[in-house]
Structure formats: C-alpha cells, structure tokens
Chains A and B, each alone.
Chain A
Amino acid sequence: MTYQGRFRVWRGDDAGGALEDFTVEVNEGEVVLDIIHRLQATQAPDLAVRWNCKAGKCGSCSAEINGRPRLLCMTRMSIFEESETITVTPMRTFPIIRDLVTDVSFNYTKAREVPSFAPPADLAPGEYRMQQVDVERSQEFRKCIECFLCQNTCHVVRDHEENKEAFAGPRFLMRVAELEMHPLDTADRVDQAQDEHGLGYCNITKCCSEVCPEHIHITDNALIPMKERVADRKYDPIVWLGNKLFKRS
C-alpha cells in the first residue's frame, strides 16, 4: 500500500520562487496535507503551509493541486495514480507570503464592507420566531468555511487585479444574499449588492460553485436570486415591496 510518490511543490516568497521536486512516502488513506506534513518532518522543515483542523472544517488549507483549487486536508491521495506527479501551488489570486501561504487579507477587507445583520428593534432576545423552511436558505450559505477557494477561482478577480476594488467576490456577494434572505433582517440590501459590491460583474459562470468544498450552490441559490431581485427592483418596485413584506410576516 505504501509507495514513493512524486511531488512538485512551489517554494518561494513575494520576490519569486519555483517548483521543487520531492520524492516522499505515501500510505494508505492519506490526504495531500499528510504528505506536506511528512515533507516538513523529513525533508523541508521550514516548508510553509496553513492548516488547522485537518478535517475540512476551518478552511485554512486552501491551495491548488494540479491546478485545481482544493483543500489540502480533504484531497485524498487515492484519487491520483501512483505514477502521477502531483503539483501543489499556492492560491493564485492572492499575494504570496511564503511557499503555500498567501495573503488573504482581501477577503477580510471585503467582509468588513458588507453591512452587518440589522436586528428587528421590536424583538427582545429570546423572542425571535422563525420557521425552519425560512431559515434554510440562509443556513445553506452559513455553511461557508471561508476557505476563499471561490474567491480564488472567480475569473472576475483571478487574473484581474484591477477588479478587486469594486468586486466583493462570490463569498461576500453570498453573504449579502444570506442577510437579504434572513427572515428577520431589516436592512434593504438589493441596491447595495449591485452598486457597492459589484454583483453586476458576475456573469454566472458557476466556477465558484464548482470548487466550493461545502458544495454550496453559490451561483444558483445566492447570486442568481440576487440578480433577479435587482432586476425586479429595476422594473417593478411593487413586486419587491411585496416580497419584502411577505418575508417579514
């Protein structure tokens, strides 16, 4: 079951770097992160990698494996051929810090730009009443582990540094949708989504949804419905008002 696997890992920092070749032991049931850890323990003690839970729950270990954005801790070695050379590189959309670690502060900046939950003034803590069916929509988006793989993948910013200013990215457009669909949120977020967070840049290619390790239907359930609300608002404000009132009742 044990074999010697061939790996190419990107090493370097903001000044530049290159792929480095390694041959390393691989055992049954292992994931790519196990191999990176073995490299640290045996061949490259200062190889930088971000991780935390090793269970797909914290979203720290995002990287690109053979060019595909993935979580290192949830990518099993068994999906590769033993003869295959596996290439591990850092996420491309964010600036490099060192080796596999990137500077993801873009995402924290965007998070801060989304106005927070606006609670109803007339309800005290403990008085909130919501039906399961009504919270499920936002709950799906709250499964997000903030791995930022969708942010890394979306072509609007992937090779377009210049769009970063105006575009919140799928993760944070989804956050706007989550609040918009929250049964008790009192803010109006439709215009904001379009005007402040760059919803218009999204042309629903669904690449973000494809890489989401939580299998959240970002495009279908968050982005498209938000776009519909923007469109409804443009053509028919009464429809929008109706939706909003219906939602609160």
Chain B
Amino acid sequence: MPELERHSFDVLVIGAGGAGLRAAIEAREHGLRTAVLCKSLFGKAHTVMAEGGIAAAMGNANESDNWQVHFRDTMRGGKFLNNWRMAELHAQEAPQRVWELETYGALFDRTKDGRISQRNFGGHEYPRLAHVGDRTGLELIRTLQQKIVSLQQDDFKELGDYEARLRVFQEFTVTELAKDGDRIAGAFGYWRESGRFVLFEAPAVILATGGIGKSFKVTSNSWEYTGDGHALALRAGASLINMEFIQFHPTGMVWPPSVKGILVTESVRGDGGVLRNSDGKRFMFDYIPEVFKDKYADNEEEADRWYTDQAGNRRPPELLPRDEVARAINSEVKAGRGSPHGGVFLDVSTRLPAEEIRRRLPSMHHQFKELADVDITAQPMEVGPTCHYVMGGVEVDPDTGSSSVPGLFAAGEVSGGMHGSNRLGGNSLSDLLVFGRRAGAGAAEYVRAMGERPVVPEDTVTEARATALRPFQREGGENPYTLHMELQQAMNDLVGIIRRAGEMEEALRRLEKLKQRAGSLTVEGHQQFNPGWHLALDLRNMLLVSECVAKAALLRTESRGGHTRDDHPSMEAEWRRKLLVCTVAGDVVSVEEKPQIPIRRDLLDLFDRTELEKYLTAEELS
C-alpha cells in the first residue's frame, strides 16, 4: 500500500464556490492556516454559472429600499418557513459584502451617478440585484479567486511561501469526514488526477459543497452537484432540514435535447421578457395567487407601466416567485397550450430593441445562438421548468454556521434554513458571502477556543480507503452510468415539481433497489482520472440525499414553495411551524418533525397583520 499523503491545517474548507472562498478568506484573515479543497479546477465551481445578480438592499436604484424590505421579501418568498434569524442577518449584511467585493477588484455595472447598478428580479420589491450583464457569478468567483491570490502574494512577501497560510487543493474529492469522539478531526479523499488518497487533519471543517441537482434528469446544475456535503454531514452525525424543498426554476432550455435544463436567466423577465402560451396569451395573469394579489398587476397595461413607474403600478406577474411561475408553466403545458417542444414561449424580442437585448443579456444571446440556433432578438425562446436549487441542507446556527457536530460548519447552498421553502433569485449569491464569512469567523473562533487538537483515528483511514476502492474489487457488476440515469429518471418523474403520495412511495421503493444495486457496482480501468470511478463514489451520496428528499416530501402533507402536492394542494399554517429533520444511522435515513423557533416580535412587526394572517396560525398571532 503506498504511503498516505497527509496534511495538517487549522481550517479545512470543502468547496471553492462563493461560500467556500469567502469562508477561506475570513479564516485566513483571522490568522488561521486554511486549506480549500474542490472537485474541479480553482475558479470553476458552480457559482461561476450564476447569471442574474446578487441581491443586496443598497438602495442605489430606489432609495426606499432597506434591509427591512429585503427581509420581508425573503420571508414572503420562502412562505415564512425561513429561519428568520438567517434572513435577518442576510438582509442586513448583504450590502457590506457586495461593497467589499469592489475593494477586491470587482467591476459591477454602474448607475448614472457611478454607483452599483441594481436590476429587478422576481419577488424583490425594488430593483435590488447588483450585476455584471448576465455573468454575475463569473465576476463573483473571479473576484474571490483573485482576492485569494492577493492574500497568497502577501504571504509570499512576508514568509517567502505563497501557500504558507492559504492553500488550494484543486481537483480533489473528499469522500469521508473524520471524527475524534464527537468532534470533527479532518477529512479523507482522493486526487482526481492520480487517484491517490490523502488525509487532512484539521479541527474545523467548513462544508461549502453546493447542491444536489444531479440526482434529477432535467437540471441546470453541473456534475459537481451530487450532494456530497449533504451526505458527508449526515454521515458525520449532523442533521439536514427542509430537504423536501427543491426549487424548479421556471425557465430552462427545452430544446435541443442535449441542452435541456440549461438555465435561462430570470433577468430576461426582469428586463421585460414575457411568457406566452401557444395561443399567444400572456398567461401569468391567470396564476396570481391570493396572497400576492395586492402586489401583482392583473392586466397588461399596468404590468407594462411598472417597468418605468414602479411607485404607481403593481408588478408584472412574470416576476412572481419562481415556484409560482414554474407551476403555471407546468399547468399550461399540461392543458395542451405548450410550445412545440413541451415548454412555453419566453419573448423579449418584441419588448426591447435588438441592441439593448445584446447589451443586457449577452450570455443568453450567445447561448441560444450557439446551442439552439435561436436569435433571441428576433424570436421567442422555448422554456420549461428545470431543477435548480435545493433549499434544504445542513441545520446550522445562524450566527456562526456551526452544525450540531462540534467543529463542523456549513455555508452556501449546502446549508439549510435561510430560504425557507423557496429561494428568491439573487438571494443565493448574497447568502454565500454573508454566511461564508460568518462560517469562516465561526470556525476561527472555534479553533481559538478549543482545547487539545483532535486526532484522526487510524481505522477511519483504513475504512475510508476500503470503501473508496470497493468498486474496483468486483467483476461483472453494473456500470455506474446506468444506475445514475435510473436515479435521475426516478427523481424527475416521481419526486419532481408536482408530487403525489403514491409516486413518492414508488420512488422510495426504487431508491431502495438502486441502493442495493449500487453495492455491487463495477468500474473498469485504474484510479488515475477515472470518471467511472468518480461517479460510482458520487452515487453513494446522491442516493442517500435523494432518500432524504423523498422521505421528507412524503411526510409534508401540504403544498408550500418548492414542494407541491397534488394530493394536498393547500398551504397549512400548522405545517409552517414544523421543520422536517433528516438524520442517518448506519444506512437508514430517518425524518422527524421539529418545532420552528417562533419569529422574534420586532421582526413580526415589520409585516401587516392581514398579511401575517395568511401564513401564521391564530395561536401565533394572539
């Protein structure tokens, strides 16, 4: 057996997206030796794909905006299931986090008076999304990447070593967390390139691994989204909340098949694009739910006036929260009013001059031209719902990002609570920065206060290695690609955008069978850069996390945000007070109800009583 590569750090950040990089910057600025581990190359994490923008109540476009308004929008978007403390911190701190990016070198689009420009997005009362065209995620990740490089340059000047305090291990996959008693002690994984194993010893680990979308067939997510962090947390003894809530973005590409699911940014609608069915009708006017009637226009004239006069008009219904729009599209297609390839039409070509479209939506223009032969300045796009974001994740302490396992922290999409049952567009990028920073500081404080450093038990390494190598030891087993396709199909069809008890029970039966088959997978070839092997290891996580989603979804007998039950179509105030908490013991996922912490009085006072009555029980209101 080759000698095991070992490293020792104070803080290990798993994930190099927005949350991971911001956390690493914070931990390093607290003087801790920090490592960042990521599956793909540095600068290519999923965050790079974010398009529309980052939400922060800076009030540059409309002075009436402030954190209280942002807080209210976030809670409404999440149907009041959000962890209110997270929503509060997020709304308060997002502006500082965005301005800070400018000091790292970010170049956002500008207002006429030279400040950061802000655009409209679904569910946000005022134009609130700081952006760079429609490539905001690229700007975010590159800026953080360059900030990390600049900290490394400082260390080089001071200590003669770029990596003295902050080191990035790229194309490295973590397969297991290590514990010393009940505390975190490090992580185990492999270099994708060589397949060699590495043990990291560290008293604090921050999970920033993103989402789970690769368990679904139609998704806007990349291969990285196999729910590794969710599964690592579960196996380490932490709990996940809100796993039943999955966001299906209303507008993914539907044609050609090979690009099905790729995102069409919400900015298209924020900038004036409208949704039409095959009769040419702007159908969203028929889908404004009761709770939103006073905020959304019920006729085209008013909706169109809103783009120029927001004070005097209600918003166009195309900008309802994503869950509403996704369901509406689903219904139109089901009713036979869909587009030729099973979506609806999203049209910006009749709404803005071609030149303006190219300027404001360059990546969309490029994407449709290159991948679908569609010129969005002249033709409508065909779009349909696509699995986009998981609201559920590791249950954390809002202020520090700490999970229930000492030394284990989580931030970004892998954490749960902030967005409740549905995330507003733009609220993820801000979430990454606000809670990435807080988790970095939380981990630093934990390391500072801790007594003796934990030690990784040797049998952890032996077991982790054996688990990772198992797929090579079998012959004649199944190919991981086949299993992955079956998993995606099952989740898509049976635990997708509209759910029914019978179908979810069927999904759980299929997951059980897949789990058994996954135990006897075979991969060919060697450990060196072997995608078949990588997938075999990722499947284990996808199956575990999918089971959480299906089990929680079956238990929640109401419809709310990213969880729509055909058999329980209404939202129930009693359910708002309950969280579903997933844990795993051995191989068995259990889901339990847990009461939500009541919303703090002064935050409740930010809402009208009539609005609260739509969400809260009479008991809570008294």
Contacts and interface: CB of A to CB of B under 8 A. Distances in A.
Given A52-B44, A53-B48, A117-B104, A76 B371 contact: yes
Interface string A5-34: 000000001000000000000011111001
Interface stretch (B5-13, B252-260, B414-422): B252-260
A34 B203 CA distance: 42
B105 A125 contact: no
Given A50-B41, A53-B222, A54-B262, A135 B99 contact: no
B149 A112 contact: yes
Nearest to A132: B110
A128 B259 contact: no
A143 interface: yes
B105 A52 contact: no
A56 interface: yes
Interface on chain A toward B: helix, strand, loop, or mixed SS?
loop
B100 interface: yes
Contacts of B372: 29
A78 to B, nearest CB: 8
Contacts of B68: none
B290 to A, nearest CB: 37
B105 A139 contact: no
A135 B371 CA distance: 29
A112 B363 contact: no
A126 B95 contact: yes
A98 B479 CA distance: 21
A119 B41 contact: no
B49 A53 contact: yes
A143 to B, nearest CB: 7
Contacts of B153: 112, 115-116
B579 to A, nearest CB: 32
Contact of A40 (B48, B222, B366, B532): B532
Interface residues of B, number: 68
A142 B262 contact: no
B62 interface: no
Contact of B259 (A29, A131, A144, A145): A29
A30 B146 contact: no
A46 interface: yes
Interface in A44-83: 45-60, 74, 76
Interface stretch (B134-142, B292-300, B551-559): B134-142
Nearest to B108: A135
Interface string A180-206: 001001000000000000000000000
24 contacts: A30-B256, A34-B258, A40-B481, A41-B481, A45-B531, A46-B525, A46-B530, A51-B223, A52-B224, A57-B135, A74-B370, A74-B371, A97-B529, A98-B193, A98-B528, A108-B42, A116-B153, A125-B103, A129-B114, A132-B109, A139-B133, A142-B138, A145-B48, A179-B105
Interface of B: 40-44, 46, 48-49, 58, 95-96, 99-100, 102-105, 107, 109-110, 113-115, 117, 132-133, 135, 137-139, 142, 146-147, 149-150, 152-153, 162, 193, 222-224, 255-259, 262-263, 363, 366-367, 370-372, 479-481, 523-526, 528-533
